[in-house]
């Protein structure tokens, strides 16, 4: 879901109103409410601090020219140096800093002496030290308009020239990739004793359902620059060969809190999908990175034919995962899939309960499923209708079995129907995908995480409410034990 950015005047109003309400003492709150308000205060304070920073274009050239010197920098030193360029941490653990479009000033990021305007920059930290820099120079999901082949070729040429000048090395052609999520992506590599860089780009010919080229035959997908310290040959400059962890290794990430009853998978990387409707591919990126793969949402968006506004058709993502599972050393299983006949049966059960309660019933013969259907239903009747059969018991069993073994589950659902605990969702309704990472049997809760950055790492809701709005549940795990 793509959200409009407020004007500067609107932001001043939000800040003024927010300071009064969010920064004032809470008089009667639960522990969950206090945690939610604390995170909201932290985010608001970050917005206020960013609003006071210098305005104007933000040059990200130092991330390229000074990359070798920056490797190994701690989070505190990085924050002191780059705070004027207005970035946000994508999680409270500060494992990634994200430079992106701001609510106050729009984009205004530049690269290579102003020749390019990157969509996003990501700086990763391992054990508190800077370990990788990624610049998304162009992504279809973030683009404000389509670009043609000539403009895309110029963007690639300007990027090559800019990196070559910054690193003092002309680099060399890597050729088209034969591994990774996107086969055929072109690459140019630079290798110095203190830094390795990979410029990778991809485009495709768009065809209709018959296989014929459409009027808009050319489609630029992404142009990405990645810089890493050259620990060993090929690190960071070759596409990910697939999952690098074994399924049995994942149990080490499981945490248990005996007092509260929480059981969850820790250490799942955070990805902030931004304003675009990339929840499906962003969620998959997080899972793949958890399995040790360097695959991002923009590669997956190309494979799954995602669009910025319309998002990703879950069926296309499932098809893409089935095709990629051998190449990426994964095993994929659809635990709960979409079935219209099953939905009709659910409607019939719901209608019987709705009739008894005297609330709206649905025409099961002429009703077409659409996003937001569960929001139109009576919540109590919906919960009773969905959770009365064996499907609910299987849902709970799958969650417990897999997350107890360190395997998160891809979860497709409709949001905005039942209450959730944690940071408020930017998306208030409609279809969404997130990761289920745990459960609490004592409280009857499912624990999940959303791909919207800091504050969305660990959230929860009642497990029967969760099942009532479930549209799909998918197991994707390493194929080696």
Q: What percent of the chain has pLDDT over 90?
A: 55
Category of 72 on φ-ψ map: left (φ > 0), alpha (ψ -120 to 50) or beta: left
Helical ranges in 96-223 per DSSP H: 149-167
* CA pair distance 95, 91, nearest whole angstrom: 7
Q: How many CB atoms lie within 10 A of CB 339?
A: 10
> Of 174-178, 222-226, 417-421, which gets the smallest average pLDDT?
174-178
Give the mean pLDDT of the chain: 84
Greatest C-alpha distance within the chain: 76
Enclosing H/E stretch for 356: helix 340-357
Q: How many CB atoms lie within 10 A of CB 395?
A: 24
Mean pLDDT, residues 396-406 taken together:
98
Note the pTM of the prediction, 2 decimals. Answer: 0.79
Mean pLDDT, residues 7-14 taken together:
38
Mean pLDDT, residues 209-225 taken together:
74
pLDDT band at 43 (very low <50, low <70, confident <90, very high): low
pLDDT band at 120 (very low <50, low <70, confident <90, very high): very high
How confident is the model over 436-446, as pLDDT tens digits?
Answer: 999 999 999 99
For residue 11, pLDDT over 50 is answered with: no
* CA pair distance 41, 50, nearest whole angstrom: 14
pLDDT of residue 3: 39
* CA pair distance 155, 201, nearest whole angstrom: 10
pLDDT band at 300 (very low <50, low <70, confident <90, very high): confident
Higher pLDDT, 286 or 27: 286
Mapped onto helix, strand or coil, the DSSP state of residue 425 is coil
* CA pair distance 278, 314, nearest whole angstrom: 11
Mean pLDDT, residues 314-328 taken together:
80
Mean pLDDT, residues 346-350 taken together:
91
* CA pair distance 182, 188, nearest whole angstrom: 16
Residue at token pair 């994200």: 98
pLDDT band at 163 (very low <50, low <70, confident <90, very high): very high
> Quick one: tokens of 301?
């968006």
How confident is the model over 412-442, as pLDDT tens digits?
Answer: 999 999 999 998 888 888 889 999 999 999 9
Mean pLDDT, residues 163-192 taken together:
89
For residue 166, pLDDT over 80 is answered with: yes
Residue 3 has what DSSP assignment? P
> Of 247-256, 269-278, 381-390, which gets the smallest average pLDDT?
269-278
């Amino acid at each position: 879901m793509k959200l409009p950015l407020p004007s500067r005047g609107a932001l001043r109003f939000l800040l003024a109103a927010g300071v009064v309400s969010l920064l004032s003492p809470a008089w009667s709150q639960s522990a969950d409410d206090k945690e939610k308000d604390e995170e909201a205060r932290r985010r608001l304070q970050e917005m206020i601090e960013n609003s006071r920073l210098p305005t104007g274009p933000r040059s990200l050239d130092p991330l390229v020219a000074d990359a070798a010197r920056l490797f190994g920098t701690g989070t505190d030193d990085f924050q002191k140096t780059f705070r004027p360029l207005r970035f946000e941490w994508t999680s409270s653990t500060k494992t990634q800093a994200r430079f992106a479009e701001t609510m106050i000033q729009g984009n205004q990021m530049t690269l290579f002496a102003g020749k390019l305007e990157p969509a996003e920059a990501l700086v990763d930290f391992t054990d508190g030290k800077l370990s990788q820099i990624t610049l998304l120079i162009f992504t279809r999901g973030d683009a404000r308009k389509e670009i043609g082949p000539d403009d895309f070729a110029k963007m690639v040429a300007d990027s090559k020239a800019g990196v070559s000048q910054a690193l003092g090395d002309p680099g060399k052609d890597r050729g088209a990739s034969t591994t990774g999520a996107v086969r055929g992506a072109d690459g140019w590599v630079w290798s110095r004793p203190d830094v390795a860089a990979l410029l990778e780009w991809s485009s495709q010919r768009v065809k209709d359902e018959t296989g014929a080229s459409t009027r808009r035959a050319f489609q630029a997908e992404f142009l990405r620059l990645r810089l890493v310290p050259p620990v060993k040959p090929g690190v960071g400059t070759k596409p990910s060969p697939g999952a690098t962890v074994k399924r049995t290794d994942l149990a080490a990430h499981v945490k248990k809190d005996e007092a509260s009853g929480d059981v969850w998978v820790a250490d799942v990387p955070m990805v902030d999908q931004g304003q675009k409707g990339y929840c499906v591919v962003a969620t998959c990126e997080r899972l793949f990175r958890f399995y040790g793969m360097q695959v991002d949402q923009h590669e997956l968006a190309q494979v799954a034919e995602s669009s910025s506004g319309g998002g990703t058709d879950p069926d296309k993502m499932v098809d893409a995962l089935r095709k990629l599972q051998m190449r990426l050393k994964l095993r994929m299983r659809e635990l709960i899939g979409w079935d219209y006949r099953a939905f009709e049966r659910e409607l019939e059960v719901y209608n019987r309960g709705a009739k008894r309660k005297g609330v709206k019933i649905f025409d099961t013969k002429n009703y077409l499923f659409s996003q937001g259907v569960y929001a139109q239903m009576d919540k109590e009747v919906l919960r009773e209708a969905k959770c009365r059969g064996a499907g609910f018991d299987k849902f709970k069993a799958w969650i417990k079995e897999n997350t107890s073994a360190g395997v998160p589950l891809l979860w497709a659902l409709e949001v905005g129907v039942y209450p959730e605990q944690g940071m408020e969702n930017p998306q208030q309704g409609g279809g969404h995908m997130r990761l289920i990472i745990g459960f609490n049997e004592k409280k009857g809760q499912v624990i999940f995480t959303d791909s919207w950055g800091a504050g969305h790492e660990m959230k929860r809701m009642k497990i029967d409410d969760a099942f009532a709005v479930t549209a799909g549940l998918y197991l994707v795990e390493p194929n080696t034990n």
